[in-house]
């Protein structure tokens, strides 16, 4: 049996994502955090869900304290930080 969320529940789910982003941004000021949004078509491929996704994405993309990136970009950034630490350790 499929569970269907009401419109209010769907709006609340979007608000929970924004609240999670707020929390992670505050916690990660020094060392970063990752918030992953799984946008699988099975979950988000319903037309009525598009409005809530647009609201969440609009709220997150307009923030200056959040880096919107792909997994590849996160990996490349992490690798560059590891390389910088290796070079720094070798100099000492």
Q: Which one has a higher pLDDT value, 14 or 25? A: 25
pLDDT at 76: 93
pLDDT at 12: 84
Any domain includes 20: yes
Count up the domains in the chain and report the number.
Answer: 1
Any domain includes 2: no
Any domain includes 58: yes
The structure's pTM equals 0.70
Q: Tell me the per-residue pLDDT of 44-83, one tens digit each, with 9 for 90 and over.
A: 777 778 888 899 999 999 999 999 999 999 999 989 988 7
Distance CA 49, CA 6 (A): 11
Taking the CB of residue 21, how many other CB atoms lie within 10 A of it? 19
Any domain includes 76: yes
Any domain includes 40: yes
Any domain includes 82: yes
Q: Tell me the per-residue pLDDT of 18-40, one tens digit each, with 9 for 90 and over.
A: 999 999 999 998 888 999 988 88
Domain that holds residue 20: 7-91
């Amino acid at each position: 049996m499929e569970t269907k969320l009401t419109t209010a529940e769907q709006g609340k789910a979007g608000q929970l994502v924004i609240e999670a982003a707020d929390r992670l941004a505050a916690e990660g000021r020094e060392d970063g955090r990752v918030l992953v949004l799984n946008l699988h078509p099975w979950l988000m491929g319903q037309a009525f869900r598009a409005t809530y996704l647009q609201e969440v994405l609009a709220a997150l993309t307009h923030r200056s304290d959040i880096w919107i990136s792909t997994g590849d970009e996160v990996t490349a950034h992490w690798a560059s930080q590891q390389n910088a630490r290796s070079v720094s350790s070798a100099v000492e």
